[in-house]
């Protein structure tokens, strides 16, 4: 183990490079970005200003906006435009007709055999015949939603018949084609559907949509007819809308062989409030950092037509300046690293995990057995077809093991009096780079790149490395023995070394707990901890300077503490501040953990994550060095005083 582990890791790293290279190659070729303007929002904007929709659409098409998104006409819109009649039940009761089967609580609609009511909405209705002549479809005004179908059904228990779609807005569709714009079909899923009604929905578009972006909360065919929808799409790409979380999207993605493109949109509600420059950065960031290849645009309600046209033109120019081509977006080809590559990557991760267990104080035989078990489990899962879960487990292992090894190994170096700064920096970078390569190779699969699947265990991966790092540092720097494999004795020795606690211990511990709470609470943004205005401004400032903004927790917390700790450990200050070093290095582990977290976002292009990480280390090194010089001055003045 002591002699051979490094060769296993090197072999895993070599194969990981091949797996990552395939991904980078695909990402570098994927330069087409499609600009789509929403017809409904544009129509409302033009109507509000009393200007011609056709004329403003023509001007927008000159700004390299290549596509028009056409929605379907809803029942209420058809009634307002008098293209469809809906009769309440009491209307017939007040008439002279002798009718027994009319329910005053219901709505009634007449339609011919080939019409949208008969073909599209009939699964919701019951056919009623009056006087053996008049055929009406009987509808409820609202239909209950099962919580198994939608999570929000408890607060939104019904759907309205008035919001059901009937047919494409043919007038807007024809206008778009008249301006040489490709059509993006906004298809709404019928609340109840049959294979026949779904086929009718697709036939209504007559193949005129070059891309489909589903309208509403569900994809077409959800929940029971997704296989039918996948067959009806017949190779037509569809849009996977960021943050929309449409029901059925992941299942449809699998059924359509991932023939999709990522879409970024700003909602109508947001468009009222958002500043144009903020929207610009948001769209560019979505393309640059999250792989969005369709930008779904709406006019800014508060801007004039000229200002909106200038904004669209600026967006196109900025995209072209960053090397993107304004053309039809195309789905990425399917790829994944081979089983051999994945297995060798997993083996390298597990070997390093065994080394970590030894650092933590476990006996060698326990560490070895603990490594064999996950290797067998991951291998079995992969061969049984659970490839995504196997990759997620391997990636999580890398995210936990390597940040801890990177900083924990420094504690060992200091314990053994190896105070070479360059060697310690090399150790940190070796484990960090190894972790990045192995984690990225484990997630080298299109399904992670387009975020149909994603890394699991984000909060846990942020908690475990700092905790284990703190334990290793305390164990080796404050009284433990580096060669002690007895975990219980190490724990007793460590606790004895910390007792009685100093005031400095308590102050630093309180600070670490506070910072840790904020740090974990902000991970995933689901604890409700708000982003401070100062922090938001700092993000914007860094983005303006670096384009690809480094992560704040790396640049201003983790990496400065890391370099401060390395400089203290390699200098004479270690004699006075040895008790403080475990706390500094624990905070330093936050930066390395964040680096691994950055690369766990596989939908961010690999090279983008690499640049972001590089800037983070550079800023952290500068700030850490400045902190060390300041600390050195404080200690010197205290000595002279």
Residues 40-54, mean pLDDT to the nearest whole number: 94
- Rounded to 5°, the CA angle 340-343-344 comes to 85
Q: What is the mean pLDDT of the chain?
A: 89
pLDDT score, position 635: 78
Going by pLDDT thresholds of 50, 70 and 90, the confidence category of residue 480 is very low
Going by pLDDT thresholds of 50, 70 and 90, the confidence category of residue 483 is very low
Element (H, E) at 241: strand 238-241
> Could you give the CA distance from residue 435 to residue 438 in angstroms, rounded to a whole number?
5
> Could you give the CA distance from residue 60 to residue 77 in angstroms, rounded to a whole number?
26
Does residue 300 form part of some domain? yes
Does residue 209 form part of some domain? yes
Number of H helices, E strands in the chain: 27, 15
Q: What is the DSSP string of 191-224?
A: SS--HHHHHHHHHHHTT-EEEE--BSSB-TTTTT
| Least confident span in 335-344, 472-481, 542-551, 575-584 | 472-481
In terms of domains, do 467 and 320 share one?
no
pLDDT score, position 431: 97
Higher pLDDT, 408 or 477: 408
Does residue 407 form part of some domain? yes
Residues 494-506, mean pLDDT to the nearest whole number: 64
Residues 418-429, mean pLDDT to the nearest whole number: 93
Identify the three-state secondary structure at position 400.
Answer: helix
Q: Is the peptide bond before 500 cis (omega within 30 degrees of 0)?
A: yes
pLDDT score, position 481: 40
What pLDDT, in 10s, does the model give residues 276-317?
Answer: 999 999 999 999 999 999 999 999 999 999 999 999 999 999
- Rounded to 5°, the CA angle 34-39-41 comes to 110
Does residue 162 form part of some domain? no
Query: Quick check: 640 pLDDT over 70?
Result: no
In the listed set 96, 129, 144, which residue is the last one of a domain according to the structure? 144
Give the CA distances from residue 352 to residues 282, 388, 477, 504, in Å, rounded to whole numbers and listed in that order: 39, 22, 22, 34
Does residue 150 form part of some domain? no
| Least confident span in 119-133, 229-243, 386-400, 580-594 | 119-133
pLDDT score, position 59: 94
What pLDDT, in 10s, does the model give residues 12-21?
Answer: 999 999 999 9
Identify the three-state secondary structure at position 397.
Answer: helix
To which residue do tokens 């490594």 refer? 371
> Could you give the CA distance from residue 51 to residue 600 in angstroms, rounded to a whole number?
48
In terms of domains, do 248 and 301 share one?
yes
Percent of the chain residues topping a pLDDT of 70: 89
In terms of domains, do 484 and 601 share one?
yes
pLDDT score, position 221: 96
Higher pLDDT, 139 or 545: 139
Does residue 506 form part of some domain? yes
Cα distance from N-terminal residue to C-terminal residue, the chain:
52
Sequence-distant (6+) residues with CB within 8 A of 546 are 615
Q: What is the DSSP letter of 445?
A: B
Query: Quick check: 449 pLDDT over 90?
Result: yes
Identify the three-state secondary structure at position 67.
Answer: strand
In terms of domains, do 564 and 636 share one?
yes
Percent of the chain residues topping a pLDDT of 90: 70
Q: What's the whole-model pTM score?
A: 0.88
pLDDT score, position 488: 59
In terms of domains, do 260 and 360 share one?
no
Query: Quick check: 44 pLDDT over 70?
Result: yes
In terms of domains, do 247 and 344 share one?
no
Query: Quick check: 563 pLDDT over 60?
Result: yes
In terms of domains, do 624 and 489 share one?
yes
Query: Quick check: 444 pLDDT over 90?
Result: yes
In the listed set 92, 109, 144, which residue is the last one of a domain according to the structure? 144
In terms of domains, do 359 and 490 share one?
yes
CA 489 to chain CA mean position, Å: 44
pLDDT score, position 485: 43
387's tokens: 């490839």
- Host domain of residue 118: 78-144
Query: Quick check: 97 pLDDT over 90?
Result: no
Does residue 154 form part of some domain? no
| Least confident span in 57-66, 101-110, 247-256, 463-472 | 101-110
Sequence-distant (6+) residues with CB within 8 A of 346 are 375, 378, 379, 390, 394, 397, 442
pLDDT score, position 504: 64
Residue 504: CB atoms within 10 A of its CB come to 12
Q: How many domains does the chain divide into?
A: 3
pLDDT score, position 484: 43
Reference 598, options 571, 559, 637, 566; nearest CA is 559
Query: Quick check: 407 pLDDT over 80?
Result: yes
> Could you give the CA distance from residue 187 to residue 74 in angstroms, rounded to a whole number?
11
Query: Quick check: 513 pLDDT over 90?
Result: no
Going by pLDDT thresholds of 50, 70 and 90, the confidence category of residue 350 is very high
pLDDT score, position 100: 62
In terms of domains, do 507 and 458 share one?
yes
pLDDT score, position 523: 65
pLDDT score, position 475: 86
To which residue do tokens 């952290």 refer? 620
In terms of domains, do 506 and 557 share one?
yes
**Contact, 19 vs 317, CB < 8 A?**
no
In terms of domains, do 507 and 552 share one?
yes
Going by pLDDT thresholds of 50, 70 and 90, the confidence category of residue 598 is very high
Give the CA distances from residue 34 to residues 207, 277, 477, 604, in Å, rounded to whole numbers and listed in that order: 19, 20, 56, 18
In terms of domains, do 398 and 285 share one?
no
Does residue 590 form part of some domain? yes
pLDDT score, position 162: 95
Reference 585, options 455, 470, 443; nearest CA is 470
Q: What is the DSSP string of 122-181?
A: GGG-EEEEETTTEEEEEE-SEEE--TTT-GGGGTS-EEEGGG-EEEE-HHHHHHHHHTTP
């Amino acid at each position: 183990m002591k002699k051979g582990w490094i060769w296993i890791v090197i072999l895993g790293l070599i194969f990981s490079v091949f797996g990552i290279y395939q991904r980078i190659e695909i990402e570098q070729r994927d330069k087409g970005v499609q600009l789509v303007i929403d017809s409904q929002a544009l129509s409302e904007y033009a109507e509000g200003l009393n200007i011609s929709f056709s004329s403003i659409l023509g001007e927008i098409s000159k700004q390299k906006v290549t596509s028009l998104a056409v929605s379907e006409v809803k029942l209420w819109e058809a009634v307002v435009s008098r293209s469809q009649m809906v009769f309440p039940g009491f209307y017939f009761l007040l008439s002279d007709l002798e009718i027994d089967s009319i329910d005053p609580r219901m709505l009634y609609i007449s339609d011919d055999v080939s019409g949208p009511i008969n073909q599209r909405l009939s699964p919701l209705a019951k056919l009623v015949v009056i006087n053996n002549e008049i055929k009406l479809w009987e509808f409820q005004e609202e239909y209950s939603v099962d919580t198994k179908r939608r999570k929000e059904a408890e607060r939104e228990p019904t759907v309205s018949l008035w919001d059901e779609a009937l047919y494409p807005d043919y007038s807007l569709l024809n206008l778009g084609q008249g301006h040489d714009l490709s059509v993006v079909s906004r298809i709404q899923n019928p609340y109840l559907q049959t294979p026949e009604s779904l086929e009718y929905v697709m036939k209504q578009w007559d193949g005129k949509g070059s891309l489909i972006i589903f309208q509403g909360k569900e994809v077409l065919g959800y929940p029971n007819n997704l296989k039918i929808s996948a067959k009806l799409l017949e190779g037509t790409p569809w849009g996977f809308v960021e943050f929309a979380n449409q029901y059925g999207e992941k299942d449809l993605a699998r059924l359509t062989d991932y023939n999709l493109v990522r879409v970024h949109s700003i909602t109508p509600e947001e468009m009222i409030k958002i500043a144009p420059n903020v929207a610009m950065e948001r769209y560019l960031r979505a393309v640059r950092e999250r792989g969005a290849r369709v930008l779904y645009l709406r006019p800014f309600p508060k801007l004039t037509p000229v200002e909106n046209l200038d904004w669209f033109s600026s967006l196109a120019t900025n995209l072209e300046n960053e090397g993107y081509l304004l053309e039809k977006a195309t789905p990425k080809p399917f790829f994944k690293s081979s089983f051999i590559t994945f297995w060798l990557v997993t083996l390298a991760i597990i070997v390093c995990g065994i080394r970590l267990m030894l650092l933590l104080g476990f006996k060698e035989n326990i560490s070895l057995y603990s490594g064999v078990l996950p290797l067998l489990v991951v291998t079995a899962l992969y061969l049984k077809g659970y490839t995504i879960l196997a990759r997620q487990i391997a990636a999580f292992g890398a995210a936990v093991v390597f940040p801890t090894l990177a900083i924990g190994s420094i504690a060992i170096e200091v314990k053994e009096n190896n105070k070479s700064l360059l060697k310690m920096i090399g150790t940190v970078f070796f484990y960090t780079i190894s972790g990045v390569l192995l984690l990225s190779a484990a997630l080298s699969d299109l399904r992670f790149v387009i975020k149909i699947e994603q890394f699991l265990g984000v909060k846990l991966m942020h908690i475990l490395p700092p905790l284990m790092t703190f334990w290793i540092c305390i164990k080796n720097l404050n009284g433990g023995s580096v060669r002690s494999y007895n975990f219980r004795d190490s724990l007793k020795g460590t606790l004895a070394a910390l007792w009685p606690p100093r005031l400095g211990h308590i102050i630093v511990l309180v600070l670490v707990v506070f910072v840790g709470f904020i740090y974990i609470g902000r991970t995933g943004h689901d604890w409700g901890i708000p982003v401070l205005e100062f922090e938001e401004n700092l993000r914007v400032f860094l983005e303006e300077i670096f384009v690809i903004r480094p992560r704040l927790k790396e640049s201003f917390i983790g990496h400065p503490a890391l370099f401060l700790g390395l400089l203290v450990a390699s200098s004479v200050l270690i004699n006075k501040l040895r008790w403080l070093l475990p706390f500094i290095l624990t905070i330093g582990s936050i930066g390395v953990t964040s680096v691994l977290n950055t690369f766990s976002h596989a939908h961010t292009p690999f090279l983008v994550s690499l640049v972001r990480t590089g800037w983070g280390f550079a800023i952290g090194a500068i700030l850490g060095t400045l902190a060390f010089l300041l600390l050195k001055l404080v200690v010197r003045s205290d000595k002279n005083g």
